[in-house]
């Protein structure tokens, strides 16, 4: 069974090459094609010398051909095509998502700087693309990770898009799914200046309620994906902190981002995209 193809944005940067490698493995696992897209910015009003423009164009073509050749060498059975476009990178890559099942990007491109966690193109597409977006950090690309998929889940308002994506990914990888649900103490007890003492039995009762909420939210999906081992993980942290901590031992973090195409990236997925220690999949709930 095939899926819609995977698109990876490349620009010759280390994060871009890491994204291409990650996308190739994902496309192979899905049994679908991989489309590598390089977007050249529009020409400036002041035209560069013809020789410089031609050198830039030829360099970009070589980069795309080289990326296709390297992936084909490693994965000879994978259908890989390279394409070039001109224009605003975010807009061009968003257009490429129209027929794609997944967009894979490096966390930052050539325009970034050391220490920058997430570039402007990645940030815009993570919040506004019409398909799921995976952000791949170059610094973590070569690390061995446990075959665990981490799903960030609000058990009170479960997002079906992120749930299906996480379960499907775990099934394809033969991986365990860790479903992380964060909770906090009731308001009178949560403030640092509170005069109230939290009794252990009260805390235990509240946590039991959160565990039951998570089990209820996962019930349907466990039945639909009986071969996927699921670990329900209830954490007394903020949602972003819980997911960032869980990412340290994961191969992928999956989070819903809400909204549709063009929506801004919300607070929790925004924080996770910046600070997670592994690739992050942000899934629109549309």
Task: Give 74-109 pLDDT, tens digit per residue.
Answer: 999 999 999 998 888 899 999 988 889 999 999 875
Q: Are residues 158 and 272 in the same domain?
A: yes
Number of domains in the chain: 2
Distance of CA 91 to the CA centre of its chain: 19
Going residue by residue through the chain, which has 286 residues, state the pLDDT in tens, using 9 for 90 and above: 346 899 999 988 888 889 999 999 999 999 999 999 999 876 665 666 666 556 666 777 898 999 999 999 999 999 999 999 888 889 999 998 888 999 999 987 555 544 445 788 888 898 889 899 999 987 554 455 568 999 999 999 999 999 999 999 999 999 999 999 999 876 665 555 555 666 677 778 889 999 999 999 999 999 999 999 999 999 999 999 999 999 998 999 999 986 555 555 678 988 999 899 999 999 998 6
Write down the residue that tokens 């400036």 correspond to. 44
CA–CA distance, 16 with 11 (Å, rounded to integer): 6
- What global pTM score does this model have? 0.86
Q: Are residues 96 and 154 in the same domain?
A: no
Tell the burial category of 197 from Cβ atoms under 10 Å away from its Cβ (0-12, 13-18, 19+).
exposed
Domain boundary, last residue among 119, 140, 161: 140
CB atoms within 10 A of CB 255: 30
Neighbouring-strand partners of residue 70: none
Q: Are residues 131 and 200 in the same domain?
A: no
Q: Are residues 10 and 96 in the same domain?
A: yes
CA distances from 270 to 129, 153, 169, 219, 266 (A): 14, 15, 22, 28, 6
Q: Is 1 contained in some domain? A: no
Q: Which two tokens stand for residue 268?
A: 């929790």
∠ CA(96), CA(98), CA(101), 5° rounding? 90
Q: Are residues 163 and 132 in the same domain?
A: no
Q: Which domain holds residue 214?
A: 148-283
Q: Are residues 11 and 81 in the same domain?
A: yes
Of 268, 249, 259, 253, the C-alpha closest to 286 is 259
Q: How many residues does the chain have?
A: 286
Q: Are residues 42 and 161 in the same domain?
A: no
154: domain CATH number is: 3.40.50.12370
Domain boundary, last residue among 140, 163, 185: 140
Q: Are residues 83 and 152 in the same domain?
A: no
Of 166, 177, 163, 167, the C-alpha closest to 232 is 177
Q: Are residues 197 and 114 in the same domain?
A: no
* The pLDDT of residue 43: 63
């Amino acid at each position: 069974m095939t899926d819609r193809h995977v698109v990876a944005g490349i620009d010759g940067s280390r994060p871009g090459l890491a994204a291409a490698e990650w996308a190739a493995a994902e496309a192979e696992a899905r049994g679908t094609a991989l489309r590598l897209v390089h977007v050249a910015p529009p020409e400036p009003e002041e035209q560069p010398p013809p020789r410089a423009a031609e050198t830039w164009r030829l360099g970009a073509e070589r980069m795309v051909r080289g990326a296709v050749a390297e992936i084909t060498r490693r994965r000879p059975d994978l259908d890989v095509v390279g394409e070039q476009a001109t224009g605003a990178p975010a807009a061009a890559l968003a257009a490429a998502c129209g027929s794609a099942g997944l967009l894979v990007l490096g966390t930052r491109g050539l325009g970034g700087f050391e220490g920058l966690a997430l570039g402007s193109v990645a940030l815009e597409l993570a919040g506004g693309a019409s398909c799921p977006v995976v952000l791949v950090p170059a610094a973590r690309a070569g690390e061995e990770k446990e075959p665990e998929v981490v799903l960030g889940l609000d058990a009170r308002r479960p997002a079906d898009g992120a749930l299906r994506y996480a379960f499907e990914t775990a099934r394809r990888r033969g991986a365990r799914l860790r479903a992380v649900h964060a909770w906090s103490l009731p308001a009178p007890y949560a403030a640092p200046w509170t005069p109230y003492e939290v009794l252990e039995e009260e805390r235990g009762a509240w946590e039991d309620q959160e565990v039951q909420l998570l089990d209820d939210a996962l019930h349907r999906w466990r039945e639909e994906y009986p071969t996927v081992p699921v670990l329900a993980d209830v954490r007394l942290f903020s949602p972003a902190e819980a997911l960032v901590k869980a990412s340290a031992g994961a191969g992928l973090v999956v989070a819903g981002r809400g909204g549709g195409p063009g929506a801004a990236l919300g607070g929790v997925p925004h924080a996770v995209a910046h600070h997670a220690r592994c690739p992050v999949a942000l899934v629109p709930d549309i």
